Amino acid sequence: MKKLYTFILFLSLTFTTSAQTGIPVSEMSDCDTQIQNLLTTFNIPGLTMAVTINGQLSYARAFGKADIGLSEDLQPYHMLRIASISKPITSIALMKMIENGGLNLTDKVFGSGGLLENHWYFSSANITDSRIYDITVQMLLEHSAGFDRSQNCFPSPTSPYPYFFGGCDPIVAPLHITQTLGEANPATEEMLVTFLLEKGLDFDPGTAFSYSNMGYLILGEIIEEVSGMSYEDYVKQTILQPLGIYDMHLGKNLLADKMEREGEYIGEGYTNLSIYGTGEYLPWEYGGFNLEAFDAHGGWIATARDMVKLLVAIDGFSTYPDILSPASITSMTTPSANNQYYAKGWQVNQYNNWWHTGAVDGTASEWVRASGGYTWAIILNKRITSGQANAFWSAIDNLGWNCIAATTAIPAHDFFAAPTINANTLSASNVTENSMILNWNNGNGTARLVVAKEATTMNMSPNRASEFSAYPLDGTDYTANPQFGSGDNLGDGSFVVYNGTGMSVNINGLDSGKEYAFRVYEYTQNTTTANNALYLLGNVEDFKQSTTSLGIDDNAFKASIKIHPTMVSDFINVTMKNGLSEVNFEIYNLLGKKISHGTLNNNIIKVSDLASGIYLLKFKKDNQNAIFKFVRQ
């Protein structure tokens, strides 16, 4: 524990905020200065911010560092945890579901006829407080369902933790929840909610306001029950993807499982027993709390620019089309009867401003819709909980207002003009030992950038199942060359092999028998973007293809081998002469992609798992090759 704290403390003393990334905006240059001052004052490693004015994306920049090692500049394309800003996202999804006739605000949630009456987990909960059956969807949205997390409900110590957790928010003590319910670790959102359902309510539903993470977890379960989809899939397919938003996902607990293009989080040295029940102490931000059970109340990661892209689509202004009706937006942002400053997932005030903040160890965030036609999103990869906490949050809250106030003129550009559909359906043709033609279907950019790199066999998290770790930067033009290795290098060995408006490129200079990875990024570059290239990095398709390495038959070697049958269903029999043994084989499709390989065993090669088609079977020994053709029926 002491070692971990010392390491993090050392990092905190070495933060640097010199990096500024994203397209500079001269009319808003004072925003850059304000952000740098905030990072310096509070010793924050990185911050990303996006601002819209009258429905146009005027500013999208990032400052400082993205990673724990402080070696990677934070970019506007980096996603970060946004914590409780997940609540208004859940509210938007619920309001859309209500518009579509899936449910009503007045619907009961639990018990006979309730939305979750037949829920796969809650229906077996031991509910003894009958007031739970009075909870409605609206009460959950407005934090008036009867849960009060300020009331102590945990024992002291809060077993199996050797210390006491005050209050009654199950998210802080997941090991106690699983122990109480007799469940395996890690705790799920359903377990956290069930713990409170079995404990009972703290006040009559609808009579008071008490901020509740569990209430929003229940709303996530309602979305799943009504839609028949996972909460994340429903939000993505119904709300985000129709807007061309692809850089918002539910995050993961551990550093090793972070998403591609997700930044990293710097805690304040606090540790907790691992949520996995291993007995080890982990940083709160990586395994000390269970982000994967936060989903509908605090689990999203996002880029600042995709956050404001969503915000302008529900802001009620006429400058950008809304995805909710005026009546739904009014309902969503009307103060509740129990709190004049909170509506349905939104903090509100008398000036018709809406906002929400988010905070967990390693991140702080703010999302604002201001009545003057402005929106902004701010995300940091560290938060402050010390004596500076109040000043820290005041600085974040003031940043957007001061940035707007210091803007000298409304920028003419709109960085929302980036593509919303990426190139797709990548394929290869005319594959040889040293070249291939890469083909694709165009997306909706004005042009596209094709990058290629030699594929590796490194082990990667499923969330980072890509060969790529460097990306084209907005505002940067790239020089392409179809001779692999001659175009611009993005920084990870990804070379630009094409830059244009076409649908294919003939790539040369490849090595025989090697596998290559490809991506095609759409971009828009025109007067609306101030002639800056704006790249779509989300929803990009990965494609891999090997060059051929079949070589030339060695006639004497080939004469020593016979295969039969050549039209086969399950197995190929191989006969070898002249004492030949320990021969390796490889199977290729007609595009030259290696399908399988091995060492000849018992003179039989199994092919029953291959799709029907024509294949090439290559035998290798020393520097000798023998190539046969066979048909899998």
Do 500 and 430 fall within a single domain? yes
Do 475 and 572 fall within a single domain? no
**pLDDT single digits (tens) 553-573:** 778 888 889 999 999 999 999
Do 424 and 541 fall within a single domain? yes
SS3 content of the chain, % helix, strand, coil (to 5): 25, 25, 50
Asked if residue 341 belongs to a domain, the reply is no
Q: Please say if the pLDDT value at position 7 is more than 60.
A: no
Percentage above 70 pLDDT, the chain: 95
Among 528, 546, 564, which residue terminates a domain? Answer: 546
Do 516 and 580 fall within a single domain? no
Its pTM stands at 0.87
Strand stretches in 455-532, DSSP E = 495-500, 504-507, 515-524
Cα separation, 24 vs 530, in Å, equals 11
Asked if residue 224 belongs to a domain, the reply is no
Cα separation, 256 vs 573, in Å, equals 45
We report the CATH number of the domain holding residue 533 as: 2.60.40.10
Cα separation, 419 vs 529, in Å, equals 11
Cα separation, 394 vs 377, in Å, equals 15
**pLDDT single digits (tens) 362-416:** 999 999 999 999 999 999 999 999 999 999 999 999 999 999 999 999 999 999 9
CA distances from 56 to 63, 320, 383, 485 (A): 22, 8, 29, 38
Burial level of 254, CB count in 10 A (0-12/13-18/19+)? middle
Strand stretches in 140-291, DSSP E = 248-250, 271-273, 281-283
Question: What mean pLDDT, rounded, does the chain reach?
Answer: 93
pLDDT at 482: 98
Cα separation, 479 vs 350, in Å, equals 53
Do 462 and 572 fall within a single domain? no
Do 595 and 520 fall within a single domain? no
Do 446 and 487 fall within a single domain? yes
> Please, which residues have CB within 8 angstroms of residue 526's CB and are 6 or more apart in sequence?
417, 446
Longest dimension (CA), the chain: 93
Do 559 and 536 fall within a single domain? no
pLDDT at 551: 65
Asked if residue 204 belongs to a domain, the reply is no
Residue 115: pLDDT band with limits 50, 70, 90? very high
Ramachandran region, residue 208 (left: φ > 0; alpha: ψ -120 to 50; beta: rest): beta
- H-helix or E-strand spanning residue 57: strand 56-64
pLDDT at 237: 98
Asked if residue 390 belongs to a domain, the reply is no
Asked if residue 241 belongs to a domain, the reply is no
Among 520, 546, 572, which residue terminates a domain? Answer: 546
Do 532 and 572 fall within a single domain? no
Residue 580: pLDDT band with limits 50, 70, 90? confident
Residue 624: pLDDT band with limits 50, 70, 90? confident
Asked if residue 8 belongs to a domain, the reply is no
What domain count does the chain have? 2
> Please, which residues have CB within 8 angstroms of residue 298's CB and are 6 or more apart in sequence?
83, 84, 86, 87, 171, 213, 216, 291, 358, 360
Asked if residue 570 belongs to a domain, the reply is yes
Residue 590: pLDDT band with limits 50, 70, 90? confident
Do 433 and 536 fall within a single domain? yes
Please give the torsion angle defined by the CA atoms of residues 127, 131, 133 and 134, in that order, rounded to the nearest 10 degrees: -160
Residue 46: pLDDT band with limits 50, 70, 90? very high
Cα separation, 57 vs 320, in Å, equals 11
We report the CATH number of the domain holding residue 562 as: 2.60.40.1930
Cα separation, 95 vs 104, in Å, equals 9
Contact by Cβ (8 Å): 445, 488 = no
Asked if residue 592 belongs to a domain, the reply is yes
**pLDDT single digits (tens) 220-229:** 999 999 999 9
pLDDT at 479: 98
Q: Please say if the pLDDT value at position 6 is more than 60.
A: no
Q: Please say if the pLDDT value at position 256 is more than 90.
A: yes
Residue 552: pLDDT band with limits 50, 70, 90? low
Q: Please say if the pLDDT value at position 102 is more than 60.
A: yes
Do 512 and 436 fall within a single domain? yes
pLDDT at 578: 78
Q: Please say if the pLDDT value at position 132 is more than 50.
A: yes
Among 546, 567, 600, which residue terminates a domain? Answer: 546
pLDDT at 588: 87
**pLDDT single digits (tens) 293-327:** 999 999 999 999 999 999 999 999 999 999 999 99
**pLDDT single digits (tens) 415-469:** 999 999 999 999 999 988 899 999 999 999 999 999 999 998 544 555 556 899 9
Do 535 and 579 fall within a single domain? no
User: Once rounded to an integer, what is the mean pLDDT over residues 488-500?
Assistant: 97
Question: Which residues form the domain of 576?
Answer: 555-632
